[in-house]
């Protein structure tokens, strides 16, 4: 392999008058001379000036949008506007052709819907290049954040026999022959003959296993794929998404909220520091996109200002009970403008309510705490009122719920009672209950939806556009 310099390295330096080779994919080629080359290392393209006198007809014809090429020459100060440096090519080599009659990504605006259908090629657009570079950095910053704080990265199982959320919306994992499912004498499916000798599914959350880790290692986190077979065809739900789940021993709900707020701010700041070019592009994209919308549907701030605002301001913290009061007294509730009008305390909050609180009422990220026990999971710590639990959800502008967490019920007797209420069989949860039997302690954690955070940072509107190959009802392409 010849020595090759990445375009980001060339463009971000003032160095000129040296020879090198660049490799990448052609974006455009004007006048048989000016070639815009992108290699994915940056959103910017490098202008390669082709020596058209000394380049063969055949090569010139094959420099088409999408082709992979190598160019060798001298990096010089650019005469043209728009770039500081360019490459004066002495030779151009075609590495991989792209037939202009067939290559679907011609240099014009494509709709996001169309690009989703060619998700295998959409990485090559400016928008998706920016999104996936940022996605990488968000993942990296999350690991760095936890590492700096002494958290242990724990790999919890993907295939599991438990249903952590009690959600019942799981993908089954089986090797049974579906055309001839073995039955027991009672006529039930005989899972004893299945691969694991029991019924298994893809995990919906690594939390319960993370709790086991925290009650020995103090601070742990998971970062892995999770799966939900909920039939939610929305711009906020995926059937396969990534979740970050920290869990801390000797910590209560306030520690949990502080950790989540610190983490979100840390990661957003990291992206602002590292990705000015990508964010500037996404910001302009969003502004253009929103200019077609009525003024009240546009974001109140440009993308980077919104991110900066989020870092600089404390999240608003209030209880579910306080939030319900605000919502019941709100205009859209009184005028029955909400799709789900809130009638009384105890109602589950829909995304329209969450977004009202964040976008209209507080105009900043909000943390809601102490939800009614009936609308939250069995493992959340019961409050003294016997009506609410130590839950917290973080709500973000444009997104709604981005984080869900709680202080955990560490008291064995209370937990057993809660499991009974939820019809969770005790014998299946002995391993979980052991942590409460032996050395139980106060502990807390949360789950951050990775793609929802990427949505917020990139200003994209649909969660299917921030994961390389989205899985949702009716679609598992690629």
- Residues binding ligand 4AD (CB under 6 A): 164-165, 205, 207, 228, 237-238, 241, 243, 245, 401-406, 445-447, 449, 451-452
Say how far residue 328 (Cα) sits from the centre of its chain.
32
Name the residues that contact Mg ion, by CB under 5 A: 404
Instruction: Tell me the residue number closest to Mg ion, measured at CB.
Output: 404
Residue 80: strand, helix, or coil: coil
- For 85: left if phi > 0, alpha if psi spans -120 to 50, otherwise beta; the answer is beta
Burial class (CB in 10 A: 0-12, 13-18, 19+), 177: exposed
CB of 430 to ligand 4AD, least distance (A): 20
Residue 192 — φ and ψ, nearest 5°?
-60, -25
Q: Among Mg ion, ligand 4AD, none, what does residue 207 contact (CB within 5–8 Å per kind)?
A: ligand 4AD
CA dist 63 and 57 (Å) reads 10
CA dist 419 and 428 (Å) reads 11
Q: Among Mg ion, ligand 4AD, none, what does residue 373 contact (CB within 5–8 Å per kind)?
A: none
Q: Which is nearer to ligand 4AD, 241 or 270 (CB)?
A: 241
CB of 377 to Mg ion, least distance (A): 9
Q: Are strands 18-30 and 34-38 parallel, antiparallel or unpaired?
A: antiparallel
Q: Among Mg ion, ligand 4AD, none, what does residue 259 contact (CB within 5–8 Å per kind)?
A: none
CB of 453 to ligand 4AD, least distance (A): 8
**Residue 374 CB coordination number (10 Å):** 11
CB of 248 to ligand 4AD, least distance (A): 11
Residue 307: strand, helix, or coil: helix
CB of 256 to ligand 4AD, least distance (A): 9
Q: If you count DSSP H runs as helices and E runs as strands, how many of each does the chain have, helices first?
A: 14, 16
Q: Residue 33 has which token pair?
A: 């001379």
- Token pair 């979100």 in the structure block, residue: 264
Q: Which is nearer to ligand 4AD, 107 or 157 (CB)?
A: 157
Q: How far is CA 469 from CA 206, 472, 475, in A?
A: 22, 10, 10
Q: Among ligand 4AD, Mg ion, none, what does residue 403 contact (CB within 5–8 Å per kind)?
A: ligand 4AD
Q: Residue 293 has which token pair?
A: 């919308």
CB of 392 to Mg ion, least distance (A): 10
Q: Which is nearer to ligand 4AD, 184 or 233 (CB)?
A: 233
CA dist 264 and 58 (Å) reads 52
CB of 238 to ligand 4AD, least distance (A): 4
Q: Which is nearer to ligand 4AD, 45 or 205 (CB)?
A: 205
Q: Among Mg ion, ligand 4AD, none, what does residue 449 contact (CB within 5–8 Å per kind)?
A: ligand 4AD
Q: Which is nearer to Mg ion, 216 or 375 (CB)?
A: 375
Q: Which is nearer to Mg ion, 69 or 399 (CB)?
A: 399
Q: Among Mg ion, ligand 4AD, none, what does residue 245 contact (CB within 5–8 Å per kind)?
A: ligand 4AD
**Residue 406 CB coordination number (10 Å):** 25
Q: Which is nearer to Mg ion, 44 or 408 (CB)?
A: 408
CB of 376 to Mg ion, least distance (A): 8
Q: Among Mg ion, ligand 4AD, none, what does residue 470 contact (CB within 5–8 Å per kind)?
A: none
CB of 117 to ligand 4AD, least distance (A): 21
Residue 112: strand, helix, or coil: helix
Starting at the edge strand that comes first in sequence, how are the strands of the sheet with 200-202 ordered?
Answer: 159-160, 200-202, 172-173
Q: Which is nearer to ligand 4AD, 24 or 246 (CB)?
A: 246
CA dist 368 and 139 (Å) reads 25
CB of 214 to Mg ion, least distance (A): 20
CA dist 118 and 123 (Å) reads 10
Q: Which is nearer to ligand 4AD, 66 or 449 (CB)?
A: 449
The sign one gets for the Cα dihedral 371, 377, 382, 385 is positive
Q: Among Mg ion, ligand 4AD, none, what does residue 164 contact (CB within 5–8 Å per kind)?
A: ligand 4AD
List of long-range contacts for 214-217, beta carbons under 8 Å, 24+ apart? 214/247, 214/248, 214/249, 214/443, 214/445, 215/249, 215/435, 215/439, 215/440, 215/441, 215/443, 217/152, 217/154
Query: Strand locations in 267-383, DSSP E?
Result: 316-319, 366-372
Q: Among ligand 4AD, Mg ion, none, what does residue 371 contact (CB within 5–8 Å per kind)?
A: none
CA dist 220 and 445 (Å) reads 9
CB of 189 to ligand 4AD, least distance (A): 27
Q: Which is nearer to ligand 4AD, 409 or 451 (CB)?
A: 451
Q: Among ligand 4AD, Mg ion, none, what does residue 243 contact (CB within 5–8 Å per kind)?
A: ligand 4AD
Instruction: Tell me the residue number closest to ligand 4AD, measured at CB.
Output: 449
Q: Which is nearer to Mg ion, 279 or 367 (CB)?
A: 367
């Amino acid at each position: 392999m010849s020595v090759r310099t990445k375009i980001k390295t060339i463009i971000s330096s003032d160095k000129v008058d040296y020879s090198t080779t660049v490799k990448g994919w052609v974006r455009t080629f004007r006048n048989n001379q000016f070639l815009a080359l992108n290699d994915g290392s940056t959103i910017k393209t490098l202008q390669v000036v082709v020596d058209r006198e000394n380049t063969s007809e055949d090569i010139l014809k094959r420099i088409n949008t999408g082709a992979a090429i190598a160019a060798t020459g001298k990096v010089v100060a650019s005469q043209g506007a728009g770039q500081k440096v360019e490459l004066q090519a002495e030779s151009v080599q075609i590495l991989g052709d792209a037939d202009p009659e067939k290559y679907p990504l011609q240099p014009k605006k494509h709709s996001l819907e169309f690009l989703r259908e060619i998700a295998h090629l959409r990485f090559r657009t400016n928008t998706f290049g920016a999104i996936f570079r940022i996605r990488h950095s968000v993942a990296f910053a999350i690991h760095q954040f936890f590492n700096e704080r002494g958290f242990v990265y724990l790999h919890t199982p993907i295939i599991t026999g438990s249903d952590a959320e009690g959600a019942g919306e799981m993908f089954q994992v089986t090797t049974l022959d579906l055309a001839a499912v073995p039955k027991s004498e009672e006529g039930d499916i005989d899972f004893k003959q299945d691969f694991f000798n029991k019924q298994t599914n893809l995990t919906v959350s690594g939390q319960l296993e993370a709790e086991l880790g925290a009650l020995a290692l103090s601070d742990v986190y998971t970062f892995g794929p999770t799966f939900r077979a909920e039939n939610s065809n929305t711009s906020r739900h995926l059937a396969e998404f990534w979740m970050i789940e920290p869990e801390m021993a000797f910590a209560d709900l306030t520690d949990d909220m502080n950790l989540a707020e610190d983490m979100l701010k840390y990661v957003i700041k990291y992206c602002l520091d590292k990705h000015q070019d990508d964010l500037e592009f996404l910001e302009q994209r969003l502004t253009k996109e929103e200019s077609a919308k009525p003024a009240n549907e546009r974001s109140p701030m440009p993308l980077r200002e919104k991110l900066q605002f989020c870092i600089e301001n404390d999240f608003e913290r209030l209880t579910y009970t306080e939030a319900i009061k605000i919502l019941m007294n709100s205009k859209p509730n009184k005028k029955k403008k909400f799709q789900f009008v809130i009638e009384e305390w105890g109602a589950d909050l829909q995304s329209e309510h969450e977004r009202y609180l964040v976008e209209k009422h507080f105009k900043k990220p909000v943390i809601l705490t102490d939800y009614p026990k009936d609308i939250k999971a069995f493992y959340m710590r019961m409050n003294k009122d016997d009506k609410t639990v130590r839950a917290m959800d973080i709500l973000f502008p444009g997104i709604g719920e981005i984080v869900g967490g709680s202080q955990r019920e560490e008291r064995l007797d209370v937990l057993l009672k809660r499991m009974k209420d939820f019809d969770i069989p005790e014998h299946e949860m002995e391993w979980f209950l052991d942590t409460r039997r032996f050395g139980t302690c106060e502990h807390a954690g949360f789950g951050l939806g990775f793609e929802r955070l990427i949505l917020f940072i990139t200003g994209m509107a649909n969660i299917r556009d921030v994961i390389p190959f989205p899985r949702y009802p009716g679609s598992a392409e690629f």
